[in-house]
Amino acid sequence: MIARLNLFLQLLGLFFFGSLAIVTAAERPNIIFILTDDMGYGDIGVLGQNERRIQKIGPAHRTPHIDQLAAEGIVLTDHYCAAPVCAPSRASLLTGLHQGHATVRNQQFDKMLEDNHTLGTVLQAAGYRTACIGKWGLVGELPARPGHPLRRGFDFYFGGLLHIDAHDHYPKEGPHRGPKQVWAMEEEISNQLDKCYATDLYTARAKAWIEEQHRERARQPFFLLLAFPTPHAPLALPTMAYPQGGGINGGMQWLGTPGKMINTAAGKIDDWTHPDYRTAKWDHDKNPATRELPWPDVYQRYATSVRRIDDAVGDLLQLLKDLSIDRNTLVVLTHDNGPSQASYLPQAYSPKFFGSYGPFSGVKSDLYEGGIRNGALLRWPDGIKAGTKSDQPSGQWDWLPTMAELAGVPPPARTDGTSLVPTLTGNGKQAESSIYIEYSAPGKTPDIPDFPATIRNQPRGEMQMIRQGEWIGLRTNMQSAEQDFQIFQIKNDPRQATNLADMHPELQSVFKQSVLRMRRPDASSPRLYDGLLVPADFSLATKKFGFDYAVYAGNWPWLPDFDLLEPVTTGHSDQFKIEMPPQSQMLGIRFRGVFQAPTSGEYEFFMRTDDRAQLRLHKLLLTEVDFHPQTSWVSAKVLLENGPHPWTLMQRIATAAQSGLEVEWSGPNLPRQPLRPAVMPP
């Protein structure tokens, strides 16, 4: 299929990224994205701990600086992680793909992050200086480390490359799980890190990097991914109290001297408990005889670990103020998954003690809300109104398009995410996010009394979750591809105690069809439903023939998501040959049509482009040529039910000589042939 335009484009001579309603280059914010490890929704003061303390529900710890961050910005109460465990969650965050398209799934720890668009590469292309500090866990095979952050869009890296490097919080001494590695760029330096508690170490290095960036490149915006390995087990303690003050002259300080890298590298390792918790008492099972018991050591450790992160947040916010960049710096705080049950210590740990799962059921590894609903807190004084809250559902894969828009560029077309800028700024209409998670794990949901009896001690197995509006469809311990979803009205039933499937049978087909239309099988993580046919959409059967097209003019470093841009012209045609005059600017074309599958079975689609292009069926990402341009054919197979299937084909044309685009298909006992126009929706 060769696409050419026969259109007069008045805006061809302009140079712009597209008519995206975004901030100007001068207003682009710095971005600090703080990601904690195994911290629960309810561990944040404003999302749970404060209410526990006020209502005297049970033991509670404090997060005063994080609460202040929330008060000065927005709280996203219905924000989801991408998976209930670290590696796939982080992969989806970085690539902007949900778990139906991501290449890291299940327990694929240390699998290489795919060589494609990431938060780092997108913001680099937009002119940002980028850094990742802390936990990575997506490095790939050793010793080559192909998925190193420096090869995935980050200008600077300091932290633990392997996921196991986060499993002790003193990398040199390793008092609980043995010594671990820390890398400065591509040099392993753990032998220099005497008595360096991980939260302190990464905070100090992050502050130093921000100061270096401001000193050397004050006019260049920056993006920092600060991935704390805490409060994940083994719940190690710091060496001393958090240093007084904060910012340039106080708080954590990077000294950079081997053996004395930071200003808390002194005293005794794994020793200091926050005084608020050292003498805290609790009402053990409401028993008068045990009402004044001190908190067990493991819970003092957990609360101290969370409080240390809170102190670090306050320290960073003070630094931004000291540098006079706090008003135009977006600070985001969220978690990689729900709270864990692990301690790696002789004493067991339960998230029940602090109610870390908040008003939900489930923990890490569960697809119940407690395992995947993390919430997010954001502060950006120049762009976000203080004291706001939103229950608009969103997911980690939404951050890539959100950050792209804030940086002044449209996101790559391959993302599953939706820009959250309208929600954050209160300007414009917010498009709905696609909330979808699939995951498989051994074990059972813990037998915690707060959880409904229908959830406690139930096997996890193969799980799948989709949310549409107020409704959640959830399948756990799947035994067949046709197994029905449990259906929950999540606003009225946050604990997911009442399965409404019998009352809403119409939602079964909606959920079953939707999940098959938005994901691709991955051979490394097989699912029971991989062999099901993608359902046809018979609502598309009309007498209208051909396809719709829209033409865009701009300058894009990749194939952009044209849905966020204003077309210079639109139309409808019954043929693909559309003549185009000589161009002086990059063009983009989006075609939308319907493929009529003549019979049910396996189809293969082939695409060749001279520049960048992508083909989707429904919401399913089928073929793409973008991050690695090539002119040879690419192909993908898909199982389709006979009937109409909507397709979207997008192409970037850098020059008139690169306007070639061909798409072909073959099917069950059907030869390879060009994709042709078919019926279209009205």
What gap in Å lies between CA 67 and CA 56, rounded to an integer? 19
Q: How far is CA 199 from CA 98, 231, 304, 453, in A?
A: 28, 9, 11, 37
For residues 199-224, average pLDDT: 97
Whole-number Å distance between alpha carbons of 190 and 316: 24
Question: Minimum mean pLDDT among 136-145, 305-314, 568-577: which range?
Answer: 568-577
pLDDT digits (tens, 9 = 90+) for 98-129: 999 999 999 999 999 999 999 999 999 999 99
Between β-strands 329-335 and 30-37, what pairing exists: parallel, antiparallel or unpaired?
parallel
Which of these ranges, 403-412, 498-507, 564-573, 622-631, has the smallest mean pLDDT? Answer: 564-573
Identify the pLDDT of residue 291. 64
Q: Quick one: average pLDDT of 340-349?
A: 96
CA separation for the pair 529, 10 (Å, rounded): 49
CATH number of the domain located at residue range(s) 28-409 in this protein:
3.40.720.10
pLDDT bucket at 656, cuts 50 / 70 / 90? confident
pLDDT score recorded for residue 383: 97
Distance CA(75)–CA(314), nearest Å, equals 17
3-state secondary structure (DSSP) of residue 369? helix
- pLDDT at position 540: 84
Contact 58, 372 (CB under 8 A): no
- Tens of pLDDT, residues 440-494: 999 999 999 999 999 999 999 999 999 999 999 999 999 999 999 999 999 999 9
pLDDT for 174 beyond 60: yes
Place of tokens 């699939």: 438
- Average pLDDT of span 529-547: 85
Flag the least confident range among 67-71, 263-267, 468-472, 563-567: 563-567
What would the DSSP string read from start to end of 286-343? G-GGGTTEEPPHHHHHHHHHHHHHHHHHHHHHHHHHHTT-STTEEEEEEESSS-----
CA dihedral 242, 246, 252, 255 (to 10 degrees): -140
Q: Which of 451, 462, 229, 299 is nearest to 365 (CA)?
A: 462
Residue 348 has pLDDT above 80, yes or no: yes
For residue range 604-628, list pLDDT tens digits in order. 999 999 999 999 999 999 999 999 9
Q: Which tokens go with 410?
A: 């449209």
What confidence category does residue 681 fall into, taking pLDDT thresholds of 50, 70 and 90? very low
C-alpha to C-alpha distance for 514 and 248, rounded to whole angstroms? 51
pLDDT at 574: 77
DSSP conformation class of 636: E
pLDDT at site 16: 35
Cα–Cα distance between 190 and 182 in angstroms, integer? 5
Do 269 and 195 meet the contact criterion of CB atoms below 8 Å apart? yes
How many residues can be counted in the chain? Answer: 682
Tell me the whole-structure pTM to 2 decimals.
0.94
Give SS3 for 212.
helix
Domain 447-531: state its class.
alpha beta
CA 653 to chain centroid: 30
Sequence-ordered list of residues with C-beta below 8 angstroms from that of 177, at least 6 positions apart, any chain: 164, 167, 168, 234, 344
Beta-strand relationship, 388-390 and 74-76: parallel
Query: What is the model's pLDDT at position 100?
Result: 98
pLDDT tens figures, 400-419: 999 999 999 999 999 999 99
Secondary element (H or E) of residue 207: helix 198-216
Given a contact cutoff of 8 angstroms between Cβ atoms, the answer to whether 614 and 621 are in contact is yes
Q: Is 412 in contact with 122 (CB distance < 8 Å)?
A: yes
Q: What percent helix, strand, coil does the chain show, rounded to 5?
A: 20, 25, 50
**CA-atom Rg of the chain in angstroms:** 26
Whether the CB-CB separation of 607 and 1 falls below 8 Å is answered with no
What mean pLDDT comes out for the span 329-357?
Answer: 97
Q: Are 231 and 309 in contact (CB under 8 A)?
A: yes
Which percentage of the chain shows pLDDT scores above 70? 92
Answer whether 55's CB lies under 8 Å from 305's CB. no
2: pLDDT strictly greater than 60 = no
Distance (Å, rounded) from C-alpha 229 to C-alpha 166? 5
Q: Per-residue pLDDT for 541 more than 70?
A: no
Query: For residues 310 and 315, what is the distance between their CA atoms, to the nearest angstrom?
Result: 9
Structure tokens given for 498: 């009442």
More confident residue, 655 or 600: 600
Contact call for residues 377 and 70 (beta carbons, < 8 A): yes
Straight-line distance from the first to the last Cα atom of the chain, in angstroms, rounded to the nearest whole number: 24
Q: Which DSSP state fits 486?
A: E
What pLDDT is recorded for position 583? 65
* Greatest extent of the chain over all pairs of C-alpha atoms, in Å: 87
CA proximity to 524, closest of 90, 96, 105? 105
CB neighbours of 33 closer than 8 A, spacing ≥ 6?
119, 223, 224, 225, 226, 332, 399
In sequence order, the 6+-apart residues with CB closer than 8 A to the CB of 50 are 60, 67
Domain with CATH 3.30.1120 in the chain: 447-531
Q: Are 358 and 42 in contact (CB under 8 A)?
A: yes
pLDDT per position as a tens digit, 362-384: 999 999 999 999 999 999 999 99
CA distance 531 to 457: 30
**Taking a C-beta distance cutoff of 8 angstroms, is the pair 412, 626 a contact?**
yes
Confidence of residue 284 (pLDDT cuts 50, 70, 90): low
- Mean pLDDT computed over every residue of the chain: 92
Question: pLDDT confidence of 18, banded at 50, 70, 90?
Answer: very low
pLDDT of residue 563: 85
**CATH 2.60.120.1560 in the chain, residue ranges:** 538-679
Strand partners, 605: 636, 665
Q: Where in the chain is the domain with CATH 3.40.720.10?
A: 28-409
The yes-or-no verdict on residue 340 having pLDDT over 50 is yes
d(CA 395, CA 398): 6
- What is the CATH code of the structural domain delimited by 538-679? 2.60.120.1560
Q: What number is the average pLDDT over the span 72-92?
A: 98
Query: Distance between CA atoms of 601 and 621, rounded to whole angstroms?
Result: 18
pLDDT at position 678, please? 62
**Residue 580: per-residue pLDDT:** 57
Share of the chain above pLDDT 90, in %: 86
Residues 6+ apart with CB under 8 A from 585: 12, 13, 14, 15, 553, 554, 555
Mean local confidence (pLDDT), 273-292: 78
